[in-house]
Amino acid sequence: MNLVTALFRIPHVRALYSLTGDMRSSLRLHFLYAAMHAGLLPALREPLTKQALAERLGAQRPELLEALLEMGVSLKELSDSGGRYRLSGRRSKALTTPEGDGAFAMAEELLTYHADVYRQFAARLRGAAPGDYLDEHAVLIARSSRVLDPMVGDFVRSLTRTGRPLRMLEVGCGSAIYLRYAAEANLQLTGVAVDVQEEVVKQARENVKAWGVDDRFQIHAADIRRPPPEVAGPFDLITLYNNVYYFEETERPALFRSFRSWLAPGGAFALVSMFHGRTFASIDLDLALRCTAGCTGLPDLERTARQLREAGFSDVKKAKLMLVEPLWGLVARPEAAP
């Protein structure tokens, strides 16, 4: 038996070797976070020298830029060819595209919001108050939720592509991207959207204006449990996407009954959520939510369907939106569709 083989039979040596691999993954996230915020990755959409980069980024401490570049090369996210740096890693390339903001926001959320959940876990285990993360990270959470766009987008379009006028209420509009998908799928669709976070509402209004659909939607800062006068039915479609866990489980039946009462004849209520599961991503989200003021853990799929039926939705259909993760869409109607 050689020395290397003997060493790896020692339990703590094997563990340390495994931790080295874990550290590389962690450092990659930290590098991407720093490089995006510093403007390094967007600047390297074209090859640049270290000096050109320093000038473009306004670097007052070039030695820090040099260290970050070395880290990027070590992680193979950057390459150095004759003193000119360029993007080489698929993650770095993806984050600098217009579609990459959701993925970057997800990484940022993990390094800020979720990281603090784990740092404060011991204190909360012993009774410390949940964190006020929603106010601090509201816009970030709205951005990071866009990583689900490819899966949720098709579901949204399938609900609104009817060929007839629809009036919709969206509860918790986030970035308003699902308003855009609904509007593009049905040119006769109009509606109202609410979100409890003022900053999120501001961003949503800016987005629908940029997308040219602001004349079709009213967006208000409001808590749907205390609806403003503008939230007056009837609606052909009411949606609750990726936010049912902002409502206590005990108050959901009453909320669902309110939604049912606001529906026009033939109308539907649609809910999308990550549900309680066994994947590390769903468990991490469940833990983060349980440590966040104003949130509950991830809902149970069958219990949610049962609550909808108890609220008067006799027809509840479920659609799995991701192959691996427990992301589901539910469509509930007061009576079975013909």
Give the model's pLDDT for residue 1. Answer: 54
Backbone angles phi, psi at 324, to 5 degrees: -100, -45
The domain containing residue 255 runs over which residues? 148-279+291-333
Give the model's pLDDT for residue 54. Answer: 97
**CATH classification of the domain holding 24:** 1.10.10.10
Residue 98 CA to residue 33 CA, distance in Å, equals 17
Distance of CA 213 to the CA centre of its chain: 22
Q: Is residue 113, in this structure, part of any structural domain at all?
A: no
Question: Which residues are registered as beta bridge partners of 330?
Answer: 271, 318
DSSP state of 175: T
Nearest residue to 73 via CA among 98, 97, 92: 92
Q: Is 81 found in the same domain as 188?
A: no
Q: Is residue 218, in this structure, part of any structural domain at all?
A: yes
Residue 41 CA to residue 102 CA, distance in Å, equals 16
Give the model's pLDDT for residue 111. Answer: 96
Give the model's pLDDT for residue 245. Answer: 97
Question: Which residues are registered as beta bridge partners of 49?
Answer: 84
Q: What are the C-alpha distances in Å from 236 to residues 153, 160, 328?
A: 19, 10, 21
Q: Is residue 209, in this structure, part of any structural domain at all?
A: yes
Per-residue pLDDT of the chain (338 residues; tens, 9 = 90+): 565 565 556 566 667 767 777 899 999 999 999 999 999 999 999 999 999 999 999 999 999 999 999 999 999 999 999 999 999 999 999 999 988 999 999 999 999 999 999 999 999 999 999 999 998 999 999 999 989 988 999 999 999 998 899 999 999 999 999 999 999 999 999 999 999 999 999 999 999 999 999 999 999 999 999 998 888 889 999 999 999 999 999 999 999 999 999 999 999 999 999 999 999 999 999 999 999 999 999 999 999 999 999 999 999 999 999 999 999 999 999 976 55
Q: Exposure of 245 by Cβ count < 10 A (0-12 exposed, 13-18 middle, 19+ buried)?
A: buried
DSSP state of 245: G
Q: Is residue 140, in this structure, part of any structural domain at all?
A: no
Q: Is 164 found in the same domain as 78?
A: no
Give the model's pLDDT for residue 103. Answer: 93
Encoded amino acid at 146, one letter: R
Cα-Cα-Cα-Cα dihedral of 37, 290, 223, 178, to 10°?
Answer: 50
Residue 174 CA to residue 193 CA, distance in Å, equals 9
Point out the domain boundary residue: 95, 111, 127.
Answer: 95
Q: Is residue 163, in this structure, part of any structural domain at all?
A: yes
Q: Is 253 found in the same domain as 177?
A: yes
DSSP state of 58: T
Chain position carrying tokens 């006769």:
188
Question: Which distant-in-sequence residues (6+ apart) come within 8 Å of 226 by Cβ?
Answer: none
Q: What is the largest CA-CA distance in the chain?
A: 79
**CATH classification of the domain holding 319:** 3.40.50.150
Per the structure, the count of domains in the chain is 2
Q: Is 194 found in the same domain as 85?
A: no
Backbone angles phi, psi at 286, to 5 degrees: -60, -45
Q: What sign has the CA pseudo-torsion 218, 221, 222, 223? A: positive
Tokens at residue 33, please? 């976070």
Tokens at residue 199, please? 């900053």
From its phi and psi, is residue 332 left (phi > 0), alpha (psi between -120 and 50) or beta? beta
Residue 246 CA to residue 189 CA, distance in Å, equals 27
Q: What is the DSSP string of 141-164?
A: HHHHGGGGHHHHHHHHHHHH-SSS
